[in-house]
Structure 1
């Protein structure tokens, strides 16, 4: 899509061309006019979809020259590396324009930083914790703020920095809010709900141009670890279908815990590969598991695996946890022969970011299954409203960011997994 569609100023178009940008991304085309128009937005897109460039262009289009000391834009990002990357992006696209910008991160003394802020700043790029610390020292003036941006919002939530984000947002009062994230889930919505009022959610999906040829893939979205255990026990109850299963987790400690949590109806049915303790049920080699008829479920930790595991001959694999490296997941699900395998993945909200990266590499989204009726979904107590440093009666109240789940994800029952698995088994043995 041409850059002309964004209706940028000539200096910005020139700066984009000089930086090597020759076309606009989909998310930029869908949100730029709304950003310039002052609308509150939640922009959802995968890594590399142009979210950062999007708001940098929007800010440069809106920001007018001023001699005010107080900043007009506050951008919150997860870490120091992102602070520097965003500042570099502003410097690259601002051209010869005089732009007063500062980064806030790290710990320790802040006298010099506060003095720089008092001298006059247009844009502050900061980690939420550092920005809050400077604000509480009366060094960060939010009275003239016009735009508050939260980038990589899903990472900020994963790192537990919702409180400083909400405190800063509520203290800033009535400003334009722009949220940029890879995924939207309940914990993120709860944070946004504290300070945004009826935002527009715009989502784009940029999958790989080619689709990988994989085994049959299924996905279950569950809230937490306990619910994963309940789901796995529910599925494995059908021992006629799941006659030989490998379950992958990330750590050996989790493998040990899961081994003790799974229901075992026969001696030796559930075992661990390379168990932590010598007296635990387990195998040192996966071939021994394959050759042992009574061994039905083998739990394998990604931790400590120095080479890919030979899972040939095993008709079902479970990713109880999303591997830390997507290449590990892909190596197990991409087809390399005629063998039929069903690969089933469990994912919590916090794991959806890694799952989206995997789906980008696959070139398609993994089908989401409904939970079986007998699964006990462990629902944690509802998080309380986040208290803020300063309550502003003129600030917009929460409520606008709540969204109903899609119908396909809202059901709590399923009748198809057993039949689907049996069909796969019939293909193998028919």
Structure 2
């Protein structure tokens, strides 16, 4: 079964990459994520989680730039993961106006704030760096539509876990999607704090 009801640009990119059919995980998860629900996506490595994250994020933003504040946030473990995911996003946004920005603790916070202020659509960063941006009024969440956590197993670390709880308190309304390889009990507790009525996709 081919990918269904995705933005035409995404279908063109998938065709360019010769990706014709969704993986079993993508077949189960993409429709649920597109519905707007909070979702725990638990699946092993190489099941298509990263591509799912990129497709559903860009589909949510209709593959076009809008406004100045980020409409999507993607949280990752560290600088290396942030840069890697940023490059993967660019493979899907080359022919669009979507602005993808990567921030990390090694980059001075004032530089991040000034570059974000210029206008972005997708912010790729770590929970602790996002928390620091919040504390310094470096990013607005007024337009945020979706927050995804890539390979979220790392969030069980205390510093990242507490940063997640802090930043989500500052977000009024947003869809949350957490991708991980294992259903860690600590991650499941997010349902009590900010992932209300979350659905679960497990491969």
TM-score, normalised with respect to structure 1: 0.45
Q: 1:28 and 2:26 equivalent? A: yes
CA contact (8 A) 2:65 2:98 kept: no
- Could you say which residue in structure 1 is the equivalent of 2:142? 143
1:125 counterpart SS class: strand
CA distance in 2 between partners of 1:96 and 1:145 (Å): 23
Deviation at 1:160, TM superposition (A): 4.1
- Could you say which residue in structure 2 is the equivalent of 1:89? 88
**C-alpha spacing 1:85/1:20, structure 2 compared with 1 (3 Å):** farther
- Could you say which residue in structure 2 is the equivalent of 1:45? 43
CA contact (8 A) 2:141 2:171 kept: yes
1:172 counterpart SS class: coil
Deviation at 1:131, TM superposition (A): 1.1
The C-alpha deviation readout for 1:220-273, integer Å capped at 9, x for no partner, is xxxxxxxxxxxxxxxxxxxxxxxxxxxxxxxxxxxxxxxxxxxxxxxxxxxxxx
1:193 counterpart SS class: helix
Deviation at 1:193, TM superposition (A): 2.6
**Quick check: 18-27 or 45-54, which moved more?**
18-27
CA distance in 2 between partners of 1:193 and 1:88 (Å): 33
- Could you say which residue in structure 1 is the equivalent of 2:68? 69
The C-alpha deviation readout for 1:334-359, integer Å capped at 9, x for no partner, is xxxxxxxxxxxxxxxxxxxxxxxxxx
Structure 1: unaligned runs, 5 residues or longer: 205-430
CA distance in 2 between partners of 1:46 and 1:16 (Å): 22
- Could you say which residue in structure 2 is the equivalent of 1:122? 121
Deviation at 1:90, TM superposition (A): 1.3
CA contact (8 A) 1:15 1:94 kept: no
- Could you say which residue in structure 1 is the equivalent of 2:185? 186
- Could you say which residue in structure 2 is the equivalent of 1:55? 53
The C-alpha deviation readout for 1:361-398, integer Å capped at 9, x for no partner, is xxxxxxxxxxxxxxxxxxxxxxxxxxxxxxxxxxxxxx
Q: 1:167 and 2:140 equivalent? A: no
| Structure having the higher Rg | 1
Deviation at 1:7, TM superposition (A): 2.5
- Could you say which residue in structure 2 is the equivalent of 1:8? 6
- Could you say which residue in structure 2 is the equivalent of 1:113? 112
CA distance in 2 between partners of 1:60 and 1:3 (Å): 18
1:33 counterpart SS class: helix
**C-alpha spacing 1:155/1:36, structure 2 compared with 1 (3 Å):** same
CA contact (8 A) 2:113 2:138 kept: yes
CA contact (8 A) 2:128 2:159 kept: no
Deviation at 1:108, TM superposition (A): 5.6
Question: How many equivalent residue pairs?
Answer: 202
Deviation at 1:198, TM superposition (A): 1.1
- Could you say which residue in structure 2 is the equivalent of 1:252? none
Structure 1 stretches of 4+ moved >6 Å? none
2:189 counterpart SS class: helix
CA contact (8 A) 1:15 1:95 kept: no
2:77 counterpart SS class: coil
Deviation at 1:168, TM superposition (A): 1.3
CA distance in 1 between partners of 2:195 and 2:144 (Å): 15
CA RMSD of aligned residues (A): 1.7
Write 1 or 2 for the structure with the bigger share of helix. Answer: 2
CA contact (8 A) 2:191 2:198 kept: no
CA contact (8 A) 2:100 2:123 kept: yes
2:148 counterpart SS class: strand
CA contact (8 A) 1:117 1:139 kept: yes
